[in-house]
Chains A and B, each alone.
Chain A
Amino acid sequence: MRATPLQRLLSFIFGWGAALLLFFPIAWMVLTSFKSERDATSPGLFFAPSLDSYRDVFARADYLSFALNSVVISVGGTVLALLFAIPAAYAMAFHPTHRTRGTLLWMLSTKMLPPVGVLVPIYLLFRTAGLLDSRSGLVMIYALMNLPIVVWMLFTFYKEVPNEILEAGRMDGAKTAGEVWFLLLPLTLPGVASTGLLSLILCWNEAFWSLNLTSAGAAPLTAFIASFSSPEGLFFAKLSAASTMAVAPILVFGWFSQRQLVQGLTFGAVK
């Protein structure tokens, strides 16, 4: 589509305006993290940048261990969810029964329950199973937590695979589910990738289970943040520094993978 210069100008103004507005809070957080605590109390743009806050934060908490936990738990939860979800979504898309639709929606409805409603039962179960403060416990929780969304997203991908391809495959002699599966894999890889990315982001940012089921050993970055929110004294710069450090890995990761994420994040909405 050709655009007139006026159109281009308008979309430039609106597009960049919206982008800067939406990004402003994050930019401001990063900016504040380089201020001294005294400068951070006044919203000025000019100040002597310092790394003091980062130094303080590093001195007080073992950032790398928190970050490592975040990575391990998020990746583990995502992989586990995909392992369960891929066969399920495949079967639902290619071998639907009259119960498929109901099953899918029931799965989704399990996500609408506030997690705090089942905290004590889960805590008791985890205590009994010895899973408190363990990465594997959180991996399980995260896999289950994201399973409905992951199944549904994959399901919509598989549904978009033209039936003719399967037919062709069958004619070539791909009789078993396994063979069809290998035929499908390259076709749906972008879908699996973007589903995995979404799940990764959701795991990284989850702040209820990670706070309540861990103590020292398996605590991820959300617990790291909870030790910097509203301590005594002036804390805005330190809070900003800690926040920046907690958000940076996933943000940078998100920027680099956004093309893959965007490609697949359609939930079957594109016809």
Chain B
Amino acid sequence: MSTTSTPDATLSGSEAEATRKVGPLLVMPSVIVLLAWMIVPLVMTLWFSFQYYNLVDPTTRGFAGIDNYAYLVTDPDFWVSLENTLILLVAVLVITVGLGTLLAVVFNLPFPGRNIARVLAISPFFVMPTVSALIWKNLLMHPIYGVFGALASTLGLPPVDWFAQFPLAAVIAIVSWEWLPFALLILLTAVQSLDHEQREAARMDGAGPLAQFFFITLPHLSRAIGVVIMIETIFLLTVFAEIFVTTSGGPGNATTNLAFLIYARALLQYDIGGASAGGVVAIVLANIVAFFLVRSIARRLEV
């Protein structure tokens, strides 16, 4: 990009005037519909969170005070679900960014059939999460019919029952498979934009491939990595389909994340009051995460 200064700096008086008028006018429609989209359900959610409201038991309605919240925070599953949400988030981020960077470097090197290989590698991104979860559960990780089990038994090992023995790791594997192509795509574009002369110069200076990677490629990728982290975080905080299809949050509460906990409240127990309290907590959590994203990543993105 040729300039990093904001357009304001170059605006004359009358143009600044135009900015004052035109800018908000154009942003307004989006902001208004998003506000409506946010505020209306948010107000309703807030309202429900202070009510006794069970869908299947209309006899108990009325003001609940902070009961729903008290019930939520005293639920041992709640704290576990926060922990699982964070583990899932961090693990998938580390895996996708780590492997994504490596693959981006590999796919930047010339080799026969590179374009086809790249198309194959990014394919998982197009598969709907429900289908991914169904394939992984039934065709790959199933201890009796699955491919992994068959591989294990040809090696003479007992088949691993993934969703019982390593449930959270299994979910992380599926989600990582879905998001690795996304990280790869963004990081690959960034690697491709790396100045060849820069690298060539480093090579002349005698820097080995590893040194080149750590001192030139990686710093160059920091912005792209920031982008990957930011976008993935948005989606990973609300992972649901993969858990619903494979483990339903279990065994026990081993794979219950906040999104699934709220789902269980709302559509298994039909406790709309409790689910709404969970929703409000999720909103607060989202804002905390957003705050940290702003501080750590968004700043570098000059947003």
Main secondary structure of the interface of A (DSSP, over half): helix
The number of residue pairs between A and B whose CB atoms lie closer than 8 Å in the complex comes to 336
A66 within 8 A of B: no
Tell whether B303 is near chain A: CB-to-CB under 8 Å.
yes
A28→B135 contact, CB < 8 A:
yes
Known: A12-B112, A32-B139, A265-B186. A270 touches B30 (CB 8 A): no
How many residues of B sit at the interface, in one of the four size bands?
Answer: 35 or more
Residues of A within 8 A of B125 (CB): 201, 254
B128 interface neighbour in A95, A147, A225, Cβ under 8 Å: A225
Partner of A97 from the list B23, B123, B240, B272 (CB cut-off 8 Å) is B23
Given contacts A3-B110, A120-B48, contact A160 B1 (CB under 8 A): yes
A residues 51-70 with Cβ under 8 Å of B? none
Q: Is the CB of A117 within 8 A of B30?
A: no
Q: Is A199 an interface residue (CB 8 A)?
A: no
Interface status of A164 (Cβ within 8 A of chain B): yes
Instruction: Flag if A229 contacts B245 (CB, 8 Å).
Output: yes
Chain A residues in 8 Å Cβ range of B278: 117
**A123–chain B nearest beta-carbon distance, Å:** 10
Does B249 belong to the interface (CB within 8 Å)? Answer: no
Which of the candidate stretches B61-69, B70-78, B101-109 sits at the interface with the other chain? B101-109
Interface size on A, residues (CB 8 A): 107
| Contact B23 A95, beta carbon cutoff 8 Å | yes
Determine the chain B residues whose CB is within 8 A of the CB of A236 once the complex forms: 138-139, 145
Whether the Cβ atoms of A246 and B126 lie closer than 8 Å is no
Write the chain A residue with the least CB distance to B237: A112
Question: Looking across the interface, which residue of chain B has its beta carbon closest to that of A202?
Answer: B235
A270 touches B22 (CB 8 A): no
Contact with B along A227-267 (1 / 0, CB 8 A): 00100000010011001001100110111001001110111
Say whether, besides A19-B120, A94-B7, A25 and B132 are in contact (CB < 8 Å): yes
Of the A-B pairs whose beta carbons lie under 8 Å apart in the complex, a sample of 9, sorted by A's number, is A20-B120, A43-B147, A95-B7, A109-B290, A116-B259, A124-B44, A255-B123, A266-B190, A270-B224
